[in-house]
Structure 1
Amino acid sequence: MRKLILYIATSLDGYIARADGRVDWLESVPNPDQLDYGYADFLATIDTTLMGNATYQTILGFGGDFPYPDKTNYVFSRQRGQADTAFIRYVEEDPATFTAHLKNQPGKDIWLVGGGQLNTVLLNAGLIDQFIITLAPVSLGAGIPLFGPDAVETPFKLIKSESFETGFVQVVYEKVPPPTPS
């Protein structure tokens, strides 16, 4: 079975973006050696992305070419009848049902790009297998949280942590398997 991995950056206070969706604060931390924090290696392990429509619109707002043209990209939207593009397919069905089905298909792992609402739905459905969270050395005070207020308590175990000279810290957590019946 394919793993669903939430690979994302957050501020120290748990926000993935400003309230208006901007992530300019990620570029505010000096990175003179142009570290990619394992991003290229991670991209090689996935062949599919999942994102909410607001996250997709933020990505389009960066300008330039679409960043994942060699992946199968799904965008969840509540708006009906949106036309697919050369690089993305819109999904109107329930995100948890769609993702559970997708995880059972052959392929590489799946990147949950975000945002907070989709993260919450898939966390609550027990579908996120791994978190790779890069903490930025900045506090925003407000914005879009990593998870919404309906997120259920879910245990994970720490697999790895790494700190960088830039002040970023990356942590990897995996889902704790359910206890086996005795």
Structure 2
Amino acid sequence: MANYVYIATSLDGFIATSDGGLDWLYELPNPEQSDYGYAEFMSCIDAIVMGRNTFEKVLTFDEWPYDKPVFILSNSLAKLPEHILDKAEIVSGDIKRLINQLNQRGYKNLYVDGGGVIQSFLQEDLIDEIIITLIPILLGNGFSLFGKLDRQLKFRHKKTEIYNKTLVKNYYTRDR
């Protein structure tokens, strides 16, 4: 049972531009059409928990990108679009209680996505592994991956992978 963050950041720690843009993620050459380990990661995941903003960004994609159940953590979202009713569910409330409920439903390994949701999970010390791919660009501003915490959370470096001599993917596990 574990909660994972799998995300890309700019060198200066941003996950999106100030207007929520992600175009900078797709500007790098990818001659081998690699998924950079995403499929392997997703094979270990039971479900995805994401925030409303991330969900709304995903809705702008040409097609729904997930074959795992998606839980949208939101206190303001009232309903889902018809075409994903069987693929996603709106959830709200206490994060620890939510994780327990999802675990009881058989979802043991959760992919936590979206800046605000990741920060909330970190605030509650509910992240077990962080996988961050550094993209060699300085955005200067935008949405930061990490926010303020009430206490330090220590992680241990597990491994590093380098793709196309450009992307640096670091794996960290919670040091408890």
Residue 147 in structure 1 maps to residue 146 in structure 2:
yes
**Aligned pair in 2 of structure 1 residues 104, 132: CA closer, same or farther (>3 Å)?**
farther
Q: Which residue of 1 aligns with 2:47?
A: 48
TM-score of the pair, normalised by structure 1:
0.87
Comparing 23-32 with 146-155, greater Cα deviation is found at: 146-155
Residue 24 in structure 1 maps to residue 23 in structure 2:
yes
Q: Which residue of 1 aligns with 2:13?
A: 14
Q: Which residue of 2 aligns with 1:160?
A: 159
Q: Is the 8 A contact 2:92 2:98 kept in 1?
A: no
Comparing 131-140 with 143-152, greater Cα deviation is found at: 143-152
Deviations, residues 46-71 of structure 1 (Å, cap 9, x unaligned):
12000000000111112x22111x31
Q: Which residue of 1 aligns with 2:131?
A: 132
Q: Is the 8 A contact 1:29 1:166 kept in 2?
A: no
Aligned residue among 58, 79, 83 for 1:82: 79
Aligned length in residues: 173
Identity %: 36
Q: Is the 8 A contact 1:74 1:91 kept in 2?
A: yes
What stretches of structure 1 of length at least 5 have no aligned partner? 178-182
Letter in 1 for 2:64: F
Q: Which residue of 2 aligns with 1:33?
A: 32
Aligned partners of 2:64, 2:141: CA distance in 1, in Å? Answer: 28
In the TM superposition, what is the alpha-carbon distance from 1:151 to its structure 2 partner? 6.3
Q: Is the 8 A contact 1:134 1:170 kept in 2?
A: yes
In the TM superposition, what is the alpha-carbon distance from 1:86 to its structure 2 partner? 2.5
**Aligned pair in 2 of structure 1 residues 164, 81: CA closer, same or farther (>3 Å)?**
closer
Aligned partners of 1:109, 1:130: CA distance in 2, in Å? Answer: 11
What stretches of structure 2 of length at least 5 have no aligned partner? none
Deviations, residues 60-98 of structure 1 (Å, cap 9, x unaligned):
112x22111x31110011216435722110012123431
RMSD across aligned positions (CA): 1.8
In the TM superposition, what is the alpha-carbon distance from 1:36 to its structure 2 partner? 1.2
**Aligned pair in 2 of structure 1 residues 83, 165: CA closer, same or farther (>3 Å)?**
closer
